[in-house]
Amino acid sequence: MGVLPHGGVLINRVCGTEEGSEWLKRAEEYPSVRISKRSLSDVECISTGVFSPLTGFMGEEDYRSVLDRMRLADGTVWSIPVTLPVKEEEASEIREGKPVALKGPDGLIYAVMEAEELYRVDRWREAEAVFQTGDPDHPGVARLYQASPLYAGGPVRLLRHPDHGPFSEHWFEPEQTREIFLSRGWKKVVGFQTRNPVHRAHEYIQKSALETVDGLFLNPLVGETKKEDIPAEVRLESYRTILHHYYPKERVFLGVYPAAMRYAGPREAILHALVRKNYGCTHFIVGRDHAGVGDYYGTYDAQNIFSQFEEDELGITPLFFEHSFYCKCCGGMASYKTCPHPGDDHVILSGTKVRRMLKQGIQPPPEFSRPEVVKVLIRGVKES
């Protein structure tokens, strides 16, 4: 059976083809609101069980409980509010207790929500709780401030899937990944979250973890990210490339994570662990500054936050790794735990510097990134 999903039951709010068609006909008559690409990805994550045990967008009681204590109102661990902002001019379309059609940015109806409540929030308070800052330069805070302070809560039902485009080949719902892990005989599976190309440091910690488990689930985020990040399509090609050349095929599985990036540091690390538990992972890699941005979080804050919860209530084992790098003296990959040599001997590049090099067609050194991956990235960054 493998690891239980968070909350004990894998949520499924997806309508079958026939049922979905019937709902779509009815939904044409419902009041409607247009939701963002980000909210649409949340609808899909809720409906397919990625965000189990959530069955819809949070109501006020769950929302406030998550802000104050990183738990749903019933005590289940949950660290990030999953909410649906509604524009003031559209709020009149929503009647509490009545269904409302959710239209994507393209105007198509994708889901129906049973609108249980409308409530107003203090966005500054949410920013301080979730992101630990009210600074509008923080991308997550900026997005929060730009959204409406009026939230709609209630269960959702997915009537049609969004077009997954170039990610379709690697798009799997938790029910599918669980079956795949089972069919491969994997009892211990380690999940890895990334919104960046896999470089040598990532490869090092993934393979270190792989020494102790049966399989690695490389689960890159392909939802909305900040514009400075390397486009998801380019990253996906880089993942395929490095897996083909440097990983044992029978020990690794690549599947995309459709959610938007929150950049919430420690709190998002908890969410990322719970999500991978829903996909069927027993372990989850937490590196330095996980889900961080700028210098808003301490280097190991995202690891320390796990000590606030009991292991059995998380239901997944976090694996903590030090910052790793190539050491010229050691002649290989190492970390501060294993390498005695000074920083001058370490090959470490910032993400900003790497992106600048790629745009200029300059190859980062092979000690930092595999040359096959660099070729993909230079070509992709130039074209994007």
Instruction: Provide the annotated active-site residues.
Output: 195-196
Token code pair at residue 268: 């998002």
SS3 string, the chain, reads CCCCCCCCCCCCCECCHHHHHHHHHHHCCCCEEECCHHHHHHHHHHHCCCCCCCCEECCHHHHHHHHHHCECCCCCECCCCCCEECCHHHHHHCCCCEEEEEECCCCCEEEEEEECEEEECCHHHHHHHHHCCCCCCCHHHHHHHHCCCEEEEEEEEECCCCCCHHHHHHCCCHHHHHHHHHHCCCCCEEEEEECCCCCHHHHHHHHHHHCCCCEEEEEEECCCCCCCCCCHHHHHHHHHHHHHHHCCHHHEEECCECCCCCCCCHHHHHHHHHHHHHHCCCEEEECCCCCCCCCCCCCCHHHHHHHHCCHHHHCCEEEECCCEEEECCCCEEEECCCCCCCHHHEECCCHHHHHHHHHCCCCCCCCCCCHHHHHHHHHHHHHC
Amino acid identity, position 227: K
- Going by C-alpha positions, the residue among 239, 225, 312, 232 that lies closest to residue 277 is 312
Token code pair at residue 17: 């083809």
Sign of CA dihedral 276, 277, 281, 283: positive
Sign of CA dihedral 142, 146, 151, 157: negative
Rounded CA-CA distance 53/55 in Å is 6
In whole angstroms, how large is the CA radius of gyration of the chain? 21
